[in-house]
Amino acid sequence: MDFQEISEDNNEEQNQNNPPWLKIIRKDKTFGNPVIILRNISKDYDLGGEGQVHALVDINISSNSEYYPVLEGELLMLRGPSGCGKTTLLNIMGTFDKATSGIVEIMGTRIDTKASDKFLANLRLEKVGFVFQTFNLLATLSAFENVELPMLIQNKLSKKKRRARTKKLLTRVGLGDRMDHLPSELSGGEKQRVAIARALSNKPNLLLLDEVTADLSTKGTIHIMNLLLDLNLKKKVTMVLVTHNPDLEVYADRILYFRDGKIERQVINTQQTALNFKEYMAFLRETENQMVKENDNEKNDKEKINLSQTSDSFNDELSDQESPNEVSFDDDDFSSEHNFPNQKKKKNKIRNRNKNKNNNNNNNNN
């Protein structure tokens, strides 16, 4: 099976047919060698006397499977409902967790259930960057110090080179003027950009991202995703991203959908695109207005049906001696949202009849 290249032609023509908030930015994309291979990965959690939870069941992402390996330069997205196993799989890919059974290969390094914690920690430090939903920045360190920290731990660069790289990374993510700020002084989007810069500090071959836009505004989400896409395209950083947001699927080369610990299906996206914030917000407002309009129309249709049924029901209960026009109902019998065109007229007619009756009684008494 050839995994080396997925190309896209005639992008200008296709962009003309797309909505303005979507723009195909990839003419062609060449993938490299496999970065992650998973063979028969299962993960069980023991609940004591209550049995086990099967978080992952026999996951295969390899050349012998219909779900091919994660390739160098690929942006793979994992999607599915909460509890389906996607974050568990991401943690196994990043060596934060061990599979109950099966084999993981990361850039040619074979990892089985017997791998030591020290070995896995060194592998993460050398080859894997991880970005979390909750940022996980050290509160007492500045943005600069947070990004510099992994390089200090790795201890391969001189102080001059380390500091130069830190400045370059923060400038690349748009925080050149916020380097000395503490996390508490940064917005959610800025914190996530610091986290991305930190994840890239040791030049990892693989970047794993867990719900990195879940706590961000729409503008912050698009900014972060466009930044990640830029890194993916220009620096060939391989990425695996977990998200609940279906609108972000346009950024991926491939999407794997999970359910109940298994891969349900795979979608190949040959039109990798970026969202335009202004046009996307206009689209969301238009969609929202359309949904409100449709809901109002549906609500009115239901009320008309209910009114017709109510009228028929009351009419069936009337005696032969009563006329429908002589029956009145209190306002409390109906929702204030209902519309009765003849209700006021009927009430006035009955009030007048009652008033005349009272006047006749008074005249008789006199």
- Residue 265: the pLDDT is 95
CA distance 211 to 225: 11
One CATH from 3.90.650.10, 3.30.70.20, 3.40.50.300, 2.40.37.10 for 5-275:
3.40.50.300
Does this model's pTM top 0.75? My answer is: no
CA distance 8 to 88: 33
Q: Are 102 and 59 in contact (CB under 8 A)?
A: yes
Compute the chain's Rg from CA coordinates: 32
> Which band of pLDDT confidence, cut at 50, 70 and 90, is reported for residue 190?
very high
- The residue behind tokens 């990839």 is 26
Condensed to tens digits (0 to 9), the pLDDT of residues 55-78 reads 999 999 999 999 999 999 999 999
Q: Where are the domains of the chain?
A: 5-275, 277-317, 325-366
CA distance 124 to 96: 9
Condensed to tens digits (0 to 9), the pLDDT of residues 206-261 reads 999 999 998 888 888 999 999 999 999 988 899 999 999 999 999 999 999 999 99
Summary mean pLDDT of the chain: 80
Strands 34-46 and 22-24: unpaired
